[in-house]
Structure 1
Amino acid sequence: MLDLAILGLLKEGAMHGYELKRQLGQRLGFFWTVSYGSLYPTLRKLEAGGYVERIPDADSRSRRRQVVQITAAGEARFLDLISQRSTSAWEEEKFPLRFAFFTYLPTETRVWLLQRRRDYLLDRVQEGESGLRRATRGRADSYTISLIRHGVERTRLDLRWIEDLLLAETTPHSKETT
């Protein structure tokens, strides 16, 4: 997953490791945190695979300072990672990360991913409503019921957001992000 995030950011330009970490925090910090302990080993792995390369920092006076940039192989790897059409629940957890880089995907892939997310959220709403019915019939306390209700409402809100995005993707001349 970190591979995808790093390659996606490097599509926008070469960066130092600390700048990558800062950008990851700004873009994905609400959903995901990255430590230097995971960032640098992933960068080394991507470099060993030929997906990124180190180049001299044009803005530095020191020849030793380097930045990391994506390679052509990295571009291809990025598109492969972001476009994977898996249907596992684990893949659904990647949605916020993929969404951060939707601009690089063809419309067909974006629509497919949005439809998968919609289906996942519909299942979650049904499970939540079923759990809420069981909780209200059973011995659940008011806090548990409130927590389940909150989860269902939050999932419905996400579902409406996804449906709005799908509508924007499939309606001609209406490609604005909601």
Structure 2
Amino acid sequence: MARRGETIELAVLGLLHEGPLHGYELRKRLNLILGWGRLLSYGSLYPTLKKMLRERLITEVDSVPAPVTGRPRIVYRVTDAGTAEFHRLMAEVGPNAWEDDAFGIRFNFFSSTNLETRLRVLEGRRTRLEERLARVRGDLEGEQKRPVRSDHYAIELRRQRVEAVEREVRWLSDLIQAERDRQDERGTAPQTS
């Protein structure tokens, strides 16, 4: 499983790959990518930025005054080494690519990857979720068969989890099919896993 710091680094590199940003704007955009359930604090962001500066993946290019306080805001830009690292990370297709924390970030920057990589990550994510779906369905069925069941709300929560995973599996299947259709339009033979 990818460390949270590595996941944040990938997201920072991806955002800076699109253009220079200051820390406040970076945090705001990172939180949009991460979603409401995983908000990023400045206490997590700035140590990551300092580490990336030491590794020369990013650089400080300028400072701009904050609108209200007038205090300088440092603007960060990705370096050539950071761009190379971003592309290397985006090309990875192993289990870290389809885990919960990393998948959303990778998906956000999918336009930076090739078709084969996108398909492998999408298929890996779908397989992982199908495994999860079998577990949560089994949990729900087991709960419903127990002589002394949990209360109605606990069962409903399990049912909601099953439906959420089913929905994501359908969504992934649709995306995979769309990618394969694009592949067919380009005249390349579709890959299967």
The TM-score normalised by the length of structure 2 is 0.80
Q: Match of 2:180?
A: 170
Equivalent positions of 1:121-132 (< 5 A) are: 121-132=129-140
**Mapped pair 1:159 → 2:159:** no
CA RMSD in angstroms, aligned pairs only: 2.3
Instruction: Name which of 40, 43, 48 aligns with 2:49.
Output: 43
> In the aligned structure 2, how far is the partner of 1:13 from the partner of 1:88?
26
> In the aligned structure 1, how far is the partner of 2:57 from the partner of 2:40?
20
Deviation at 1:29, TM superposition (A): 2.9
Residues 59, 77 of structure 2: 8 Å contact kept:
yes
Q: Match of 2:191?
A: none
> In the aligned structure 2, how far is the partner of 1:89 from the partner of 1:134?
31
- Structure 2: which 5+ runs fail to align? 1-6, 187-193
**Mapped pair 1:68 → 2:82:** no
Equivalent positions of 1:4-83 (< 5 A) are: 4-57=10-63, 66-83=74-91
Moved over 6 A (4+): none
Q: How many residues align?
A: 171
Q: Match of 1:146?
A: 156
Aligned in 2, Cα 1:28/1:88: closer, same or farther, shift over 3 Å?
closer
Aligned identity (percent) is 37
Residues 97, 121 of structure 2: 8 Å contact kept:
no
Q: Match of 2:113?
A: 105
Q: Match of 2:189?
A: none
Residues 53, 71 of structure 1: 8 Å contact kept:
yes
Deviation at 1:147, TM superposition (A): 1.3
Tell me which moved more, 12-21 or 135-144: 135-144
The TM-score normalised by the length of structure 1 is 0.87
- Structure 1: which 5+ runs fail to align? none
Residues 31, 96 of structure 1: 8 Å contact kept:
no
Query: Secondary structure of the residue that 1:171 maps to in structure 2?
Result: helix
Code of the aligned partner of 1:124:
R
Residues 33, 108 of structure 2: 8 Å contact kept:
yes
Residues 17, 67 of structure 1: 8 Å contact kept:
yes
Aligned in 2, Cα 1:128/1:91: closer, same or farther, shift over 3 Å?
closer
Aligned in 2, Cα 1:164/1:82: closer, same or farther, shift over 3 Å?
same
